[in-house]
Amino acid sequence: MRYITYILLATAGLTVVYGCGRAELCDYRPLETSAELLLPSLSLYLTPYFVSDPKDAAKSTQDPPPFYSDDPFAFYSYVVVRHRPATPGFRTLCAVINRHFGKWERLVIVERLEYGGHDETGFIVAAVTRDGLMGVTNLGPKGPDAGLWEATLWPRAFRLDRVKFESCLAELDKARKSRKGLWSELLWFNNIDWPLYLLHDIKSDGSYISIGVCAWADLEDAERVRLLKAPLDYAKAAELIRKSPPWQNIVEGSASAKELRLAGATYASLIALVWENTLGKPDYFVLGVDPLAPPPAKSASSLEHEREHSGTPTAPGPSSP
């Protein structure tokens, strides 16, 4: 019953928006509470590409293992379709878009959806309006380091750096030109508790692109660095995605999975650029860089190698959480 309610609310939002015409999207105003739950350009229904390993369920220490460890389709339905529109952060995001910016020309939005015991949507909205640049977020620093973030219940305005934001718009224009028409895709990789990031670029004429990346950075350090050194080739990323079938589980380590990892590096880098050039500080989880995390435990072979070359015993390092 709860799922049906979400669908009805989404349909109500679509009816209001499309009833006003796509060209008038920038003038959209909610007519009732339910109407502010959805804008079509926020892409509630992304086309998903799943990369996972069915063997991970067998390796899980949880009993029973998390349902999404061997069923990415359940993940998509449970987290993206059902829980995302129900989070206070997503509802606040829609209300901010509807009521705060007035007549806008372009919106650039990043969503950070956390899940795994606590589902919440953090967001960044950067807008080009007739009154200039405007920014709103509900994100705040988590702990002493500004590279770790968490969603709050209180949206706040922030000042945008024009030069940095225009560099984001230039990159987004390149991504738009890499393919024709409207597109919205989600690249989901093996994941249990990493945030899901969604990037939307919406223009007042109704055109938009949306790209989602989940747990791309859950890689060995050397492999992650190798992929991030590749140039941001949006046409190549689009080509690699088109080669893979959506709505199917692609096994980690296969040729298709490696291609999607490369495409994911391009879009994760774009999300990281937008994040840092709007809020001014990075989010370490986008690219998997967290200098506060303890070093990983060293393997027995690496410890033996150190002993052979140092002549002294080496104590094992602390393990990752």
Q: How confident is the model at residue 292 (pLDDT cuts 50, 70, 90)?
A: low
How many angstroms separate the first and last alpha carbons of the chain?
A: 38
So where are the chain's domains?
2-290, 295-321
pLDDT at 134: 96
Q: Helix, strand, coil % (nearest 5) of the chain?
A: 45, 25, 30
pLDDT tens digits along 294-316: 554 544 444 444 444 444 333 33
134-171 burial, b if ≥16 CB within 10 A, otherwise e?
A: bbbbbbeeeeeeebbbebbeebeeeebeeeebeebbeb
pLDDT at 255: 95
Q: What's the number of CA atoms in the CB half-sphere (13 Å) around residue 109? A: 29
Which residue type sits at 46? L
pLDDT tens digits along 34-83: 344 446 668 777 899 999 876 665 555 555 555 555 577 777 777 787 78
Which residues are bridge partners to 186 per DSSP? 48, 212
Task: Tell me the pTM.
Answer: 0.78
* pLDDT of 257 over the 90 cut: yes
Which residues are bridge partners to 9 per DSSP? none
pLDDT tens digits along 192-228: 678 999 999 999 888 889 999 999 998 888 999 999 9
Place of tokens 């989901």: 188
Q: How many helices (H) and strands (E) would you count in the chain? A: 10, 9
